[in-house]
Amino acid sequence: MRPGAEGRGARKDMSEPTRPGVDAPGDWEFPTPERRDLDNGLTLISYHVPGQYVLSLRVGLPVSLREEPREREGVATIMARCLDEGTERHTAEEFARLLERKGVSFGAGVAEAGLFLDIDVVAGNVDPALDLLRQILTEPAFPPNEVARQVRTRLADIEQERAVAGHRAMMEFYATLYDAEDRAARPVGGSRQTVAAIRRQDVVAFHREHVVAAGTTLVVSGDLTGLNIASSVDRALGGWARGADRPSFISESAQLAADRDRVVVVDRPGSVQTEIIIGAPGPDRSVAGGWAPYPVLGFVVGGSPSARIDAVLREEKGYTYGIRAGFRPRSSGGIFTTSGSVRADATTESLRLLAEILEGAGAGLADGEVRSGVDFISKTAPGRYATADAIADEAVTMALDGRTTAFTTANLRDLATVDARRADEAWARFWEGSRLGASGTGWTIIVVGDAAEHLGEVERLGLGPVTVVRDS
C-alpha cells in the first residue's frame, strides 16, 4: 500500500472492513559474507547487517567428542566451561569482571558438531572483546580449584537433567537408538562417573591438542559500519597457534543399536504427565533428493498447533499442551523425533494415536498441507534471519557441517519447488531407510511416566519389546 492511501478493506461508514488480500513478499536473500583465511588456518566469515548494534561473534572448532578418553567423557564440556575461569594474567574473578565492564557476554559449550564459543558485544567494544577472546582461547590457566568447581557444577547439572522429564527422555532415546559402544549413545557432557574422574591435567591436555586455529571458523555478524573487522581479528588472533592441520568440520556417522526398535519405560511413580518420544534415525543435509522436503514434513506432521499431531492430540482430544515432530540433521545421518508430554491417563491412547498418525503420513500428504509448510518456512526466513545472532548461529552451524550459508540460500530456493510428490518421496525414503514397519513397529519409543500404571497397556499396543528403567 502506498503512503497515505487507504487500505483495501476501506469503507466509508463504520461497517466492518472486508477480508483483505495479501501482496507477494518483498525481495530478500540471506546476507552475503566476506571470507578471509588467516595464515594460521583460522577462517573469518563476516556479515555486515545494518542496524544490528550488538555484534555476535561465534567460534566453531571441529572437535569431535570421540577424542575424549572413554573414562573422561565430559572433558570437552568441562574444558569449555573453564576457558574464562582464569587466564595466565588474570584470576577467574578478575576475568569475569573484565568481561562485564566491557559488556561482553560469553558462553562456550560442546555439541556433536564441535566446540562453540559465543560472544555478544556492542560494536564499540569489539576490539577489547576480541582481545579477551584471544586470552580465552590461548591463555586459559585452568586453575585446579576452578576445574574442580566446574566438575561439581556439571555433576549438579546431571542431577537437574535427570529430574526433568524431557531431558531424561532424550537421554534414554540416544542410549536406545545408538549402539552402546558409540559415543552418540552417551550424554555429550559426560555421565556421573566419567565427569567425577576429570582432573586439571585432562583439561589442559584436551585444550592443548584441540583448541588451535587450524580448521577453526570465526563468524562476526552485525552492523560493521566504521569497523575494520579483518584487521581487528588479525591483530587479536593472527598469532594463535596453528596446531596440527585438520578439516574444518567432522563427518562421522554413529552406529545404530541392533535392538533400537523397542519401547523403554523410565519409571516415574505418581507422575501426573507422561513424557513421550517416538523416533528413528533420519537423514542429514546431504540426503539424496535434497534436504528441503524434510523441514516441510516436520511442519506438516508436528510443527504447529494445526499440524496433524496437535490437530488430534491437542485441539481434538485435549491430551497435551503440544507435541512437536521434526528432523534434526547431524554431521552424518540424523534423527527424527516426535516428543512431548501428555496427561498421565491418556498415555496409551496417545501412543496409539501417534503411531497411527505417523504411519498415516505414508499414505500421502495433501497438496495444501505441503504448500502450507513450504510457505511457512520460506516466508518466515527473512524474519528468522534478521538479527546478528541468528545469522551468526546459522553461519557457524553451516561451517561445522562443512558448508557455508550459500547452502541456506540454495536450500530456500529448492524449498520453493517442493510439492506433495517430492514430500511423499522424501517420507518414503526416510521410512524405508529407517526400517519402519506397519502398526507402529520399528520405532525407538521412550515413555517417562508411572510404569505400574501404564506398563501392561503399553505392552499390549504391540509397538515392540518393552523394558523398564528405574533411576537410582
Q: Is 9 in the site for other proteins (CB under 8 A)?
A: yes
Please give the backbone phi and psi of residue 265, each rounded to the nearest 5 degrees, phi first: -100, 120
d(C-alpha 136, C-alpha 121), whole Å: 15
Residue with smaller CB distance to other proteins, 328 or 371: 371
d(C-alpha 368, C-alpha 375), whole Å: 10
Q: Is 196 in the site for other proteins (CB under 8 A)?
A: no
d(C-alpha 154, C-alpha 192), whole Å: 9
Q: Is 6 in the site for other proteins (CB under 8 A)?
A: yes
Q: Which of 144, 321, 367, 413 binds other proteins (CB under 8 A)?
A: 321
Q: Which of 68, 120, 202, 401 binds other proteins (CB under 8 A)?
A: 120
Q: Name which of residues 131 to 170 contact other proteins (CB under 8 A).
A: 149, 152-153, 156, 159-160, 162-165
d(C-alpha 28, C-alpha 309), whole Å: 32
d(C-alpha 234, C-alpha 371), whole Å: 47
Q: Name which of residues 355 to 394 contact other proteins (CB under 8 A).
A: 371-372, 375-376, 378-380, 382-384, 386-389
Chain-centre distance for alpha carbon 412 = 19
Q: How far is the CB of 121 from other proteins (least distance, A)?
A: 7
Q: How far is the CB of 111 from other proteins (least distance, A)?
A: 22
Q: Is 408 in the site for other proteins (CB under 8 A)?
A: no
Q: Which of 82, 123, 171, 418 binds other proteins (CB under 8 A)?
A: 123
Q: Is 456 in the site for other proteins (CB under 8 A)?
A: no
Contact criterion met (CB below 8 Å) for 315 and 347: no
Q: How many residues belong to the site for other proteins (CB under 8 A)?
A: 90
Q: Name which of residues 64 to 103 contact other proteins (CB under 8 A).
A: 92-93, 96-97, 99-103
Pairing outcome for strands 444-449 and 273-282:
antiparallel
Q: Which of 210, 314, 330, 454 binds other proteins (CB under 8 A)?
A: 314
Write the binding mask 265 to 304 for other proteins: x where contact by CB under 8 A, - elsewhere: ------xxx------------------------------x
For residue 108, the SS3 value is: strand
What is the CB neighbour count within 10 angstroms for residue 113? 23
Q: How far is the CB of 395 from other proteins (least distance, A)?
A: 16
Chain-centre distance for alpha carbon 463 = 28
Q: How far is the CB of 321 from other proteins (least distance, A)?
A: 4
Residues 6+ apart with CB under 8 A from 118: 56, 57, 58, 105, 106, 107, 108
The burial of 417, by beta-carbon neighbours within 10 Å (0-12 exposed, 13-18 middle, 19 or more buried), is given as exposed
Residue with smaller CB distance to other proteins, 15 or 37: 15
